[in-house]
Structure 1
Amino acid sequence: MTTDFTWTRAQFQLPEGIVYLDGNSLGPLPKATPERVARVMQPEWQNLLIGGWTKAGWHMMPETQGDRIAAMIGAEPGHVVVGDTLSIKVYQALAAALALRPERRVILSDTGNFPSDLYMAEGLAETLGNGTRLVTVAPEDVAAHLTEEVAVLMLTEVDYRTGRRHDMAALTRKAHEVGALTLWDLAHSFGALPVDLAAAGVDFAAGCTYKYINAGPGAPAFIYVAPRHAGAAGTALQGWQGHEAPFAFDLGYRPASRVARMRVGTPPVLQLAALEAALDIWEQVDIADVRARSIALSERFIAGVEARCPQLRLASPRAPEHRGSQVSFHFSEGYAAMQALIARGVIGDFRAPDIMRFGICPLYVGEPEIDRAIDTIADVMAGCLWDRPEYKVKAMVT
């Protein structure tokens, strides 16, 4: 299958005159999503009422959509389930992995990991109260700190700030050599680059669907449990949907088989409908084509910005194979500069302390958008157009 990027761009509702380079934070609206979500409300919810759980298939959406995602990330069928938030799925996966290595006490991560993952690990360690501790090291030092003390290696494959990419297969292999398990956060990988969890030997993984996948704000996360752990993985959050027979309403918990045990509460049907519409687009896409085009566009973007904006310093790895599908630059007034860009129709975002971040999403971004972004950035920097009081007042969401 060869990806038709003219077709993919036509599938999205993008505001006129906007260059959207923030799909690594929140993807734009697919044109099919409003109708798909409306169909859940009318006729499904309106006419079927509670019967929609069975007749419209609502109850099984976390698993049917989990299988669709599994096919996109190299996971075995029946080993991905959708629901809840990414933080909750990281917590579940980490708790399950720690329980499988009860004699060990170290969770190893890196200082570039997304803070929520680290907060979850700290909170879980405190809850366990058995001496489990989180150890963070510089990203480039992770391999050297994999010892027989480590129970779980917990990493985000692509750094949310710089786009730096870990070698998932190599680090998973190294972790297994010392008897540790792995948990990979795919938040900035899924929909950005090829992922093959089974081939890499990953133990647990989690990811979100509102970034590159375009399932909408608050869209549900997913969790992967490798087949070899599926029957033994503890669930930590023993919600009724993860019960072997949820409608038996037993007072005691019996975990469902395989990854279904990682379901927690009632599925968010409207959000799952939005995800369904987004996956319809992705199933017409070859991720290898997306990756190749992302690299070409990113290289064009870096070359253009560096040639015209000496004030900006590349924060992302220079070699494309070492980064995800985003490009970041250091600038001391990065927040104000980003606000100036947004005011001129080029939307990226800012990450403290000084990073201007731009997502390169080929499904709806091409050479014209990249060139316009370069021109606008150059104008803002050359004219110090960011140096206005209104651009320096930080909003709650940056």
Structure 2
Amino acid sequence: MPLTLPDLDGAPRALEWRRPAELTPASAPPTSRRVFAAAHVVPDPWRSSRAGTYGGEAAIDLDTTLALRHRLWSYGLGVAEAMDTAQRGMGLPAAAAMELARRTMADDPRGGAGVAVGVTTDALTSTAPTLQEVADAYRRQVAVVASGGGTPVVMASRHLARVAQTPADYRLVYDQVISEAPGPVFLHWLGPAFDDTLAGYWGTTDTGQALDTVVDLLHAWPGRVQGIKVSLLDPVLEVRLRQRAPEGVDVFTGDDFHYTDMIAGDGRTHSHALLGAFAALAPWASTAFRHLDAGDEAAFRAVLEPTQAVSRVVFEAPTQFYKTGIAWLSYLDGLQPHFRMLDGLESGRSLLHLVEVVRRANTIGYFTDPDRTEERLRSFLRAQGVD
């Protein structure tokens, strides 16, 4: 019997479960692109609460959290650890993020080669640090990642955005971090769509001028900077960066609205992938890359393009709450035992939004056991006082 649930306007609509999708995922890493999925964190439901508020703590269910990472590796995907989907700056303190990174790198069947780890300045306690203190905070986390065999991803820093005045200030910090890193690094250009405190990053609100600064930085460090993740939700700018990036620097799309086109490329350049969406869509991503590895772009698109509708509703504004949709799908599909999040972020979306995520996911045959999904959905809604 179909469920009747409200749509985004509150009007009742029937929901009939689709059969689970028939996919043929790979187990080995793709050969045509470098691919990382940003895995989320599952908290201990008994102990986790608003981190730093009323004595709360960021208590992690480590077994379940690591199991999600092993699942991604089993599909041939790399794991992006301690980045935005892992709640950096939104409930996961710096020390906990680094400890999780150590455990993930230790578990990686590829000895750390399958892990990219976000490093940032969240260990700083001062709201107005010096540029040198920002650089030192980066360096300490870079050392942790390098010692575990992973690749550090130098994330955009809220502290640096606050204290840097010019593009030269950014270069001063990034040049020091890159030059003193024990090995190669990735950079991360994160836009205000994900974090509005980063508006004007690279010392300007003019994206063309910011692009010039980033390109100059990439050219200054051949062999040291081997990739850059672009999370701007701006396909035109991402293509321009691909065209200007030096040889040996891979551009990783973080565009969860347009990843199919970005990865497929334009015949001259293409993006690699470092995406939060792929944490929820790993079997589809793995299957699609099998086709791309075989040179069949049409089959790649046929598998991946239908997933964009799911990703777009998960990542709709305010985009910083996309993690709620990732955890929601993981819970409904039986990958974690509860729908609790660090810092209470499960409340970041309305019930109407969560139901819409279910509808979109159902269109691609997302749920491997629809009976279990329905039982969990009904139970959750009843707990919210909704019949």
Q: Same fold (TM over 0.5)?
A: no
TM-score of the two chains, using structure 1 as the length reference: 0.31
TM-score of the two chains, using structure 2 as the length reference: 0.32
Rg bigger for which structure? 1
